[in-house]
Structure 1
């Protein structure tokens, strides 16, 4: 029998989420989910344990699985926690300190004691060799091969585990980088080597070198993990294709992911954004905010016209909260979002002024929050929610993890005792602070994107999103909130909605006053072939769609605007149309074009991907009677500080069209949805919880 089930797994800092889907006989989908604690020492073990659980729930065998899709934040965590490989950089003589100098900007001009992000490679491991290309890729100084060999001897003595090679102008001509890599591989077989001309072939040395170094920094860790996971899956009987989620929203093969693991840094959050975009299509909502709160972090992403915002640059490990320019730059395709250390495991403490602060430190999965009873002694957001009455200790994570109120109360009392508050009131402060942190992140994201929340709804998911969603909505002025089915494992479900896709980016400097159409067409054709080769490894003959973009600016400006190329082979008329399209796009951002100014193209991007399945908007359900509460429990409302008995409903018996009025809790296996005072909740025709803020209720 042909396998038809699709399986996805998302490793988070606290929980590993799994989703399994199989077509039913009516043309729909049967779905089973599982949530297990992440196993930090061997992350693949948590995945394998979760797979066994979810297959047992479904009554399926490994042979029934047709495809397995995986996403993880392991690469991100390795960079943030500085737990990657001992990495060296081999670069052009005279450019040893590019990583430290950056672009010489300061994210806070007036902070005399500013803290800047430290490079992943210390200065003693940044070695240079004589070589030089000009800006067109012509050799000015041949590569000194003897110097490369001497550098290898030095790196061996230093115990280096991975090497990044980044030469000046290698994005135009990679000949010196490739020759240096050949020498390294001959002299030191088995050493992982990352080339800037392959990892990030674009101009701007700091971003290119930083991305290449980060790729080298996580490559041994990620390659080892991915191959252990592949072997573990085979031993468990899963011989189906394995795909990895990319930060840009596509899927790729294990081989490509192991070669360019830096493209996985935001793979988990990217799945969540795709999940929200899919739900938005189903609802016919063109403007939403994706709100994903897990055990370690919270992620917010603006989605317009059913498409998440994307970017080509990304910062990781910011040292300044919400401060652009305070992190390590990565030049990769990425779904644009704001991510902060605000999750169920985020630890609460007091600063020097006895103010409550939450995160970014997390209790993780081991030992976890104090209420897990696994040895944790510091209060976390989950402890605070438990003390506020929001969780049933016996039903957390579907009853697989019992919560213990007393350790939570002791941890809260010990850490926040200078406030002179009862643990329950201190817990209220912790939840209000974390909610405000997330609301502030959402405000910053909207401001940086030049957008507002007028007419926008929130799609909340992750283990904590439905718990905190209504309060975050109140803080940013949103009056509608949606909690889809499977919300507790939303990112994993998003993996199952993602296309197989890959983006290739290359630099080729062009001015429209002397546009080399033949060179551009040749470059685009070569990029298209590379993107398609990568995608076809996993598309299984599915039709592909291709998107081509040029990144352009007026001569002398510092930043580019993306302009889509509507044809694949450019004619003279097409070149003129692209030039006019840039003026139009520029006027959209800055009100008017700049007449008489020449335009330059810095780089091109080509994306090949399988087609996204069409989704029809779902009709609303007819009215149905409200369900009967399964119990009542005392809950302290964070907005007013009052304690009242809130009814608790079982989501699994909630009928489509049924409506309840807050305050109440709607419980399910992986999460709980809080319907606050002044809110109403209706189960729609898709089985989603649709919350609306109603004045006067």
Structure 2
């Protein structure tokens, strides 16, 4: 019997499950998310697959999971009651933040609530210099008093972040010993173990976030493990990290900060892998689900990662200068831009009489009006149903029945009549507004990073991504679109392409010119040894490991860094010169200019990524999805393509029908998604089952 690897991705509306056999057999399931207990939807989905296929838990060799449980704890402020011990004079770093304002002229904007209230932030009188020299020793008795105070307040976890601890952790380690002695079962974090890097606010915030969600993630993973065991699924559980690599459940329990943005990463990694197969080095991924739409850039075959991001601050879009609305997390993460535009996004009229779409969403419950589950507000899904893009009898393979009459009524009542528009025009307007909102996300990862989207291929997935992809690409003057197999479950499928990764970083501030190469070699070697030890603990042999190095650098005097890869092998003076030139090129590519040779480049942080590479390919070359066969007969329905074109009789196809190239308009219906191919566009199926769309 074939062994199966399972990918599970939880979204705001649906939970997606993919079973991939080592013989290439693929089974998929899409069920509504159980918002009150996400683990329950996973168990129900596994039961459904077992029932449909006759498989049992014994057939599962590995479970890979993208989860939103940590980010939800922050969004809902339901993390652990956390205390913070910090250096005297730095009690309010969390509140002062870095003076970034998300809306420059909005005097009514307030900072988000602190994850650690002020009365739970206590100080100790100690001082470490930026060079790691002890200027004032820590009084151990005072450290004990600080711990006792927090314990008396009933904290559920303690974070410790002392000034310049990245340079010398001895004082943090003394407090760590006190916590272990006084409260051996209490979760805690010290900043040196979490983020041994410069910048006090970023380090404090990251340490607090890690501590705040630790108990929540630990309970969730323990519950999930119990549910899996109850289904006789005893296979290892791996978690997707925000950076696109996998980590073990044990490691995720200790450092849950790495899985905060776990959910969106799987689709980007899957797109990267398929793009390499198709020899497409530069792509923009577009993932639209029921609640949000996300865009990311894959350039020269590599995903782009940000060094930091904010969680809990709403939509992640626009200029990186307009930050400050959420909680700072300084960990590597796939660089995503996100908008509140999904199938469940609510369509509404603002006070000025203009039509808007999102960011509020009807979610899974009550969902769009056409779901007939109690929703009362018109949504994008209702609009797409009115426009003829969605088959009311085919959503999720027919498991979800849509009520077109209810969608027509709510749009007519709430949108069309108040605006004096025809029903079709109102629905198409909502569709266009949603598309324009999502175009902002694509621009945020391309033009705002100095990249021209016209030179990239749009890789569209998610349950709603293929509906909007062609219209968005046309607006951006992009001519090539790829829609992968099982697009509505592609984030789950992408989990199966990921490798185990462990990321390490340390502050090492040096001007590159004149730096002793051996000092850099020794520092990187120590971090590489950490990565090797962790991968060995994960069960990888030395032959299955790949160690990659990178450097965070800026021109001396700058505040923000850019990341540049560092070549393998020992560094010498020439290699350092090459590294400085690589930084200059990256600075020019990102910002449009570079400084002259007289401006020194400063190394700030060094990084190491340890990857565990399995012996066999993650995904077999031949996949058997059972979804590439033609329908054997063409149906058609009316679909609306704007005022200039109007309603057209539009063929409705299966994916396999595109083995014969077609010219739009046509609609491709699948179990998990619908793809709209507009008039004059060319569509065909490639050898891997991808839909390739060419726009005129």
Could you tell me the TM-score, scaled by structure 2's length?
A: 0.91
Residues 186 and 356 (structure 1 numbering): CA distance in 2 closer, same or farther, change over 3 Å? farther
CA contact (8 A) 1:282 1:616 kept: no
Give the corresponding residue for 1:679. Answer: 681
Which structure 2 residues correspond to residues 558-637 of structure 1 after superposition, within 5 A?
A: 558-571=559-572, 574-575=575-576, 577-579=578-580, 581-582=582-583, 591-611=593-613, 629-637=633-641
Alpha-carbon distance, 1:520 to partner: 3.3
Shift of 1:78: 2.8
Matches within 5 A, 1:66-465: 66-107=61-102, 109-156=104-151, 158-318=153-313, 322-324=318-320, 325-327=323-325, 328-413=327-412, 415-416=414-415, 418-421=418-421, 424-465=424-465
Q: What's the secondary structure of 2:64's corresponding residue?
A: strand
1:643 matched to 2:638 = no
**After superposition, where does 1:421-570 map in structure 2 within 5 Å?**
421=421, 424-512=424-512, 515-538=515-538, 540-541=540-541, 543-570=544-571
SS of the equivalent of 2:25 reads: strand
Deviation at 1:153, TM superposition (A): 4.3
Match of 1:65 in 2: 60
Unaligned residue ranges in structure 2 (runs of 5+): 623-627
2:61 pairs with 1:40: no
Given that 2:540 and 2:612 are in contact with CA atoms closer than 8 Å, whether structure 1 keeps it comes out as: no
Judged with a 3 Å threshold, the aligned counterparts in structure 2 of structure 1 residues 283 and 583 are, in CA distance, closer, same or farther, namely closer
Conserved 8 A contact 1:348-1:430: yes
Is the contact made by 1:629 and 1:650 (CA closer than 8 Å) also made in structure 2? no
1:283 shift after superposition: 1.6
Is the Cα–Cα contact under 8 Å of residues 457 and 481 in structure 1 kept in the other structure? yes
3-state SS of 2:296 partner: strand
Q: CA deviation at 1:293?
A: 0.6
Of 460-469 and 155-164, more deviation after overlay is shown by 155-164
Query: Aligned pair count?
Result: 682
The 3 A distance-change label for structure 1 pair 305 and 35 is same
For residues 108 and 347 of structure 1, do their structure 2 counterparts lie closer, same or farther at Cα, with a shift above 3 Å needed? closer
CA RMSD of aligned residues (A): 2.8
Whether the 8 Å contact between 1:282 and 1:617 is mirrored in structure 2 is no
- Deviation per CA, 1:649-671, whole angstroms, max 9, x where unpaired? 122x4263x12222221111001
8 Å contact kept, 1:510–1:516 = no
SS of structure 1 residue aligned to 2:548: strand
Query: Is the Cα–Cα contact under 8 Å of residues 385 and 427 in structure 1 kept in the other structure?
Result: yes
SS of aligned partner of 2:453:
coil
**Which residue of the partner structure matches residue 621 of structure 1?**
none
Note the alpha carbon deviations across 1:331-365, whole angstroms, 9 max, x for none.
Answer: 11111120121111222223222322222222222
Distance change in 2, residues 1:356/1:516 (3 Å): same
Give the whole-Å Cα distance in 1 for the aligned partners of 2:212 and 2:414.
Answer: 36
Question: Which residues of structure 1 form unaligned runs of 5+?
Answer: 619-623
Tell me how far 1:154 sits from its aligned partner: 4.0
Q: Distance in 2 between the 1:588 and 1:462 partners?
A: 30
CA shift for structure 1 position 129: 2.1
Post-superposition CA distance 1:590-621 (Å, at most 9, x none): 65553344433211000111348599999xxx
Deviations 1:371-411 (A, max 9, x none): 22222222222222222222222211112222223443454
CA distance, structure 1, for counterparts of residue 50 and residue 629 of structure 2: 34
SS at 2:290 equivalent: coil
Shift of 1:420: 4.4
Cα deviation, 1:234-268, whole Å, max 9, x if unaligned, reads 12111111111111111110011111112112222
Distance in 1 separating the partners of 2:425 and 2:151: 57
Instruction: Give, in angstroms, the shift of residue 538 of structure 1.
Output: 3.6
The Cα of 1:298 is off from its aligned counterpart by 0.7
Change (3 A) 1:584 1:459: closer
